[in-house]
């Protein structure tokens, strides 16, 4: 039952290739978040899921980025036609969000993506 | 739009001393949540402390406490008796209680505890 897990931990790809990043949230957590963290910078919100739906996709940088969640569990972030500026650590977090009050985010260790 | 500002990119403190990290935010909402997260070199983000805006009492977790000034929109973190293991990036974050529950993070403060 541990914490949030992400795979792979590191991914090196060539410019123009597609990549898929996976997040397994804590069991029972209804909310799931994706963030991007460029080297030495803060967290940039990408997308948020409540259950399997995404009420807020406002942070996705371009139409090359997409994400889905199934079974109110695992989520996949897909980046198509990767560019060098996509190089970053991609962090996933989940929270219980039973009601607006209880929503502490628990983060995964992240996936470090390097686009050559 | 909500914003979170951390004006101290880097700080250092001697072991066993006290340090305060600053955070200011901007919102038109009356109720919201504020957080401090720690990110050590291992990259794992860890929740340090959480404050609910409707509570006037400042949150405390062991050596960590906050000074929440709602009118000034200020939310500083005080670390007492600093330890080498406190060396990390510290991020301040804001979340609304309405809408999409999106979190807004500051750009972080890199804290180094010196032996």
What was the pLDDT predicted at B100?
A: 67
Residue in A closest to B103 by C-alpha: A45
A43 and A51 Cβ atoms separated by less than 8 Å: no
Write down the pLDDT at residue B19. 98
Helix, strand and coil in chain A, % to nearest 5: 5, 50, 50
Instruction: Measure CB to CB from residue B43 to each of A35, A42, A110 and give the nearest one.
Output: A110
- Which phi-psi region, left, alpha or beta, contains residue A24 (left: φ > 0; alpha: ψ -120 to 50)? beta
pLDDT category at A98 given cuts 50, 70, 90 is low
Per residue in A23-73, pLDDT (tens digit) is 999 998 988 999 999 987 889 999 989 889 888 888 899 999 999 999 889
- pLDDT: is A116 or B31 the higher one? A116
Residues of B in contact with A4 (CB under 8 A): none
Tens digit of pLDDT for each residue in B65-108?
A: 999 999 999 999 999 999 999 999 999 999 887 766 778 899 99
The candidate with the shortest Cα–Cα distance to B76, out of B16, B29, B33, B36, is B36
The DSSP bridge pattern shows strands B46-52 and B60-61 to be unpaired
Would you state the pLDDT for residue A100?
53
Instruction: Give the pLDDT confidence score for residue B39 in this predicted structure.
Output: 92
Q: Are B108 and B10 in contact (CB under 8 A)?
A: no
Q: Choosing among A2, A43, A111, which should be mutated to test the B contact, i.e. which has the most B CBs within 10 A? A: A43
- What pLDDT is stored for residue A46 in this prediction? 94
Task: Name the token pair of A66.
Answer: 């997409």
Shortest CB distance from A103 goes to which of B95, B98, B106?
Answer: B95
Interface check B91 vs A, CB under 8 A? yes
On the CB side of B11, CA atoms within 13 Å amount to: 23
> Which has more confidence, B84 or A99?
B84
Task: Tell me how far apart the alpha carbons of residues B67 and B57 are, in angstroms, rounded to a whole number.
Answer: 9
More confident residue, B10 or B97: B10
Question: Taking residues B12-20, what's their average pLDDT?
Answer: 97
């Amino acid at each position: 039952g541990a914490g949030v897990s992400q795979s792979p931990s590191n991914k090196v790809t060539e410019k123009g290739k597609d990549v898929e990043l996976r997040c397994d949230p804590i069991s029972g957590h209804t909310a799931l978040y994706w963030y991007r963290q460029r080297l030495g910078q803060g967290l940039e919100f990408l997308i948020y899921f409540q259950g399997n739906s995404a009420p807020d996709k406002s942070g996705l940088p371009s139409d090359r980025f997409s994400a889905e969640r199934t079974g109110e569990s695992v989520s996949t972030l897909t980046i198509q036609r990767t560019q060098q500026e996509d190089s970053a650590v991609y962090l996933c977090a989940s929270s219980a969000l039973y009601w607006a009050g209880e929503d502490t985010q628990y983060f995964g260790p992240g996936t470090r993506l390097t686009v050559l | 739009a909500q914003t979170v500002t951390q004006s101290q990119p880097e700080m250092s403190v001697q072991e066993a001393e006290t340090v305060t990290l600053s955070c200011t935010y901007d919102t038109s909402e009356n109720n919201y949540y504020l957080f401090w997260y720690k990110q050590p070199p291992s990259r794992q983000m860890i929740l340090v402390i959480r404050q609910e805006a409707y509570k006037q009492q400042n949150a405390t977790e062991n050596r960590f406490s906050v000074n929440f000034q709602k009118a000034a929109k200020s939310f500083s973190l005080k670390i007492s008796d600093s330890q080498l293991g406190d060396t990390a990036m510290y991020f301040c974050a804001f979340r609304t209680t309405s809408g999409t529950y999106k979190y807004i993070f500051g750009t972080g403060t890199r804290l180094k505890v010196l032996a």
